[in-house]
Amino acid sequence: MSRPHPFDLVFGELARTRFAEIRAADAAKLDVRHSVSEQPEAQASDIGHRTSPTSRDRRLFLQLPAVQGLLADIAPGEGVPNRGAQMEEYGILLYVIYHYWNRGERTVAVSLEELDAAAATAADRSPTVPDGACYLRLPEHRYWAQVAPDAPHEPLDGCFVVIGEEGGEVHVVAILGLRPERTGFSQIAVTAPLADLPHAARFRREPPFAPIMAGGDRAGFRSVVTEAELLHLVHIALLAAGR
């Protein structure tokens, strides 16, 4: 059975209609007519994928009325425990998924062998993010993580990775516990300077991704325990994707 994609599972057609409204609001921040008039006609079709500084800045993006309207529809209502924290989680998820959609829904699958090969030669190599926004799909049921120390271990399906404002930062949302019978998933969000990715390996555990689950060694599982390990995993996955 094919693996579900988190974009389709949670947003699907809702994203394809509501995201168009966000794109239109973002385009209003640009002098689109001026840009098109000065560029060759062949480049005019690229306008749909251009982003203004407003949408690249996560704080400003979340202030767009179209974004606030969509958040109000999908996020928990008033009176829900920890609503503030949940709204923040929904906000970063919406930010990365919008940019994933706006840049062409690029998904790159990387194998365990490709990840290990990239890790062996990673050193301080700087990665690039395909199309500036992508979903890195990891080997199924190999990497596991917890959203909190007392939470269950869940398989890490992949990570949305988006370059932020002026290319200086990277936004990562790791997707956990994705399965067809579940209506949603768990997530871990991390934002860091893009330049820090090659250095994340210095703060990983040894051996890298050592499993902390009972029986994890026998099952061939790997655990992602810290933000540094997640950033290191994203780093080598991006290097593997660029091969």
Domain assignment of residue 232, yes or no: yes
Q: Please name which of 158, 162, 153 lies closest in space to residue 94, comparing C-alpha atoms.
A: 162
Give the pLDDT band of residue 36 (cuts 50, 70, 90): very low
Range of the domain at 14: 6-102
Q: State whether 112 and 160 are in the same domain.
A: yes
Residue 197: pLDDT above 90?
Answer: yes
Domain assignment of residue 206, yes or no: yes
Mean pLDDT for 199-217 is: 94
- The per-residue pLDDT for 16 is 77
Domain assignment of residue 1, yes or no: no
Q: State whether 94 and 169 are in the same domain.
A: no
Q: State whether 128 and 83 are in the same domain.
A: no
Q: Please name which of 239, 3, 29 lies closest in space to residue 125, comparing C-alpha atoms.
A: 239
Mean pLDDT for 16-45 is: 64
More confident residue, 110 or 47: 110
Each residue of 155-182: pLDDT tens digit? Answer: 999 999 999 976 789 999 999 999 888 8
Mean pLDDT for 200-227 is: 95
Q: State whether 134 and 205 are in the same domain.
A: yes
Q: State whether 152 and 43 are in the same domain.
A: no
- The per-residue pLDDT for 43 is 39
Q: State whether 53 and 126 are in the same domain.
A: no
Domain assignment of residue 112, yes or no: yes
Cα dist from 25 to 22, 54, 63, 162, 163, whole Å: 5, 10, 11, 20, 20
Domain final residue pick, 42, 71, 102: 102
More confident residue, 238 or 25: 238
Domain assignment of residue 219, yes or no: yes
Q: State whether 145 and 231 are in the same domain.
A: yes
Give the pLDDT band of residue 33 (cuts 50, 70, 90): very low
Q: State whether 111 and 230 are in the same domain.
A: yes
Domain assignment of residue 189, yes or no: yes
Average pLDDT, the chain: 87
Domain final residue pick, 102, 125, 153: 102
Residue 242: pLDDT above 60?
Answer: yes
Q: State whether 172 and 235 are in the same domain.
A: yes
Domain final residue pick, 102, 119, 135: 102
More confident residue, 32 or 225: 225
The 3-state DSSP composition of the chain as helix, strand, coil percent (nearest 5) reads: 50, 15, 35
- The per-residue pLDDT for 9 is 87
Residue 26: pLDDT above 90?
Answer: no
Which range among 1-15, 67-81, 204-218 has the greatest average pLDDT? 204-218
- The per-residue pLDDT for 62 is 92
> How far is it, in rounded angstroms, from Cα 6 to Cα 158?
9
Domain count, the chain: 2
Q: State whether 124 and 211 are in the same domain.
A: yes
- The per-residue pLDDT for 11 is 85
Mean pLDDT for 37-59 is: 57
Query: How many other CB atoms are there within 10 angstroms of residue 15's CB atom?
Result: 20
Q: Tokens for 24?
A: 């239109």
Q: State whether 123 and 217 are in the same domain.
A: yes
Mean pLDDT for 180-203 is: 92
More confident residue, 178 or 42: 178
Q: State whether 112 and 228 are in the same domain.
A: yes
Q: Mean pLDDT check: name the lowest of 85-89, 195-199, 237-241.
A: 85-89
- The per-residue pLDDT for 17 is 86
Domain assignment of residue 179, yes or no: yes
Residue 194: pLDDT above 60?
Answer: yes
